[in-house]
Amino acid sequence: GLCCVKLYLCEPETPFSPFVYYVGFATLPNQVHRKSVKKGFDFTLMVAGESGLGKSTLVNSLFLTDLHKDRKLLNAEERINQTVEITKHTVDIEEKGVKLKLTIVDTPGFGDAVNNSECWRAVTDYINLQFEQYFRDESGLNRKNIQDNRVHCCLYFIPPFGHGLRPVDIEFMKALQDKVNVVPLIAKADCLTPSEIKKLKERLREEIDKYGIKIYQFPDCDSDEDEELKRQDKELKESIPFAVIGSNTVVEARGQRVRGRLYPWGIVEVENPSHCDFVKLRTFLIRTHMHDLKDITSDCHYENYRAQCIQTMTRCVCVCVCVWQDDVYDLHKLKHKSDILTMFAAQRV
């Protein structure tokens, strides 16, 4: 049977102290931590939504960086015939010795055209392309330094001006739901009152359930988790879709300098939880669930793609084998006919 033994003796003062019952595997988490910190982390975040919803501003606010210094803004006439393009920005961030390679994938042109039918096609093609590249690298001979460019999360910006999901919102999220972790956001939440935000959130949640849209699902907390962590997790779940505001401007509020937006009637503070869900989004995306987003991408979305690739390859091999067997059988028949004709000719002679 399986035997479980707990060792209660204290850790020795040095690795070579002569404690009989101390093995040392309790230091494994520290070893993993050191190795991970040395290697660094990577995270790919996609932002999608029509122009003017503050996507770039929000990303810059989240990671305290400027990813779009040289961006050219198109006028209305230029956007009429604009197609959906995929742009990628990579920046290396370091905080307290921990390095993060952050890749932001933007989708300029999405939802801006007069005809938006299948405007999500370029986005799904890009996600599949990253899966394909990773599958090729993983299946190759040299797997030492595989670069992971798979999209781990997609922040989808919903306009605050409507009364729920538009057809393009439904089509886009359903097209991506089995390929990436979709997290819906209400953009420019400072356009709405608190009661309007509450009603819009309820409406969006109802429509997401109604149309069977699969957005990111928070994992359940373990029963032995800290109560504060359970409370925080419950609060994050109830905040979906996050109502967000972004700003890179520092303003004066109550004698303090804060990031926010200055209006004639007052100041909207980006990092004030009573004003918007920015802090909750940052907590979810960076501090509590970034690793889970990566795990789901690898263990669920990518594995589904990988299984489909292997099935397709297996079917192709089976078809080739069947064709080869048919060709061999035809050759045998021809040889058999040739032998009969040769024998018949010999008998006549």
CATH of residue 250's domain is: 3.40.50.300
pTM, whole model, 2 decimals? 0.79
- With beta carbons less than 8 A apart as the criterion, state whether 85 and 107 touch: yes
Check residues 225 and 135 and name the one with the higher pLDDT: 135
Q: Which residues contact 162 (CB under 8 A, 6 or more apart)?
A: none
Least confident of 69-73, 157-161, 227-231, 304-308: 69-73
Domain with 204 in it: 26-66+78-218+226-312
* The two structure tokens encoding residue 306: 């990988």
**What's the pLDDT score for residue 268?**
86
Residue 153 lies in a domain: yes
Residue 21 lies in a domain: no
Burial 50-67 (b: 16+ CB within 10 A, else e): beebbbbbbbbbbbeeeb
Q: CB burial class (10 A; 0-12, 13-18, 19+) of residue 98?
A: exposed
**What's the pLDDT score for residue 233?**
86
Residue 5 lies in a domain: no
**What's the pLDDT score for residue 163?**
83
Q: How many helices (H) and strands (E) does the chain have?
A: 10, 9
Q: What is the DSSP string of 23-67?
A: -SGGGHHHHHHHHHHHH-EEEEEEEE--TTS-HHHHHHHHHT--S
Residue 16 lies in a domain: no
Residue 349 lies in a domain: no
Residue 2 lies in a domain: no
Least confident of 15-29, 162-176, 194-208: 15-29
pLDDT confidence bin for 60, thresholds 50/70/90 = confident
Residue 345 lies in a domain: no
Total number of domains in the chain? 1
**What's the pLDDT score for residue 346?**
54
Average pLDDT over residues 17-22: 58
Average pLDDT, the chain: 80
Residue 297 has pLDDT above 80, yes or no: yes
Residue 271 has pLDDT above 60, yes or no: yes
Residue 6 has pLDDT above 60, yes or no: no
| pLDDT tens track for 63-73 | 877 765 555 55
pLDDT confidence bin for 127, thresholds 50/70/90 = very high
Cis previous bond, 241, omega within 30? yes
pLDDT confidence bin for 197, thresholds 50/70/90 = very high
**What's the pLDDT score for residue 278?**
93
Percent of the chain with pLDDT over 70: 77
pLDDT confidence bin for 138, thresholds 50/70/90 = confident
Residues written for the chain:
349
**What's the pLDDT score for residue 259?**
84
Check residues 151 and 60 and name the one with the higher pLDDT: 151
Taking CA 284 as the corner, what is the angle to CA 279 and CA 285, rounded to the nearest 5 degrees?
Answer: 100
Residue 180 lies in a domain: yes
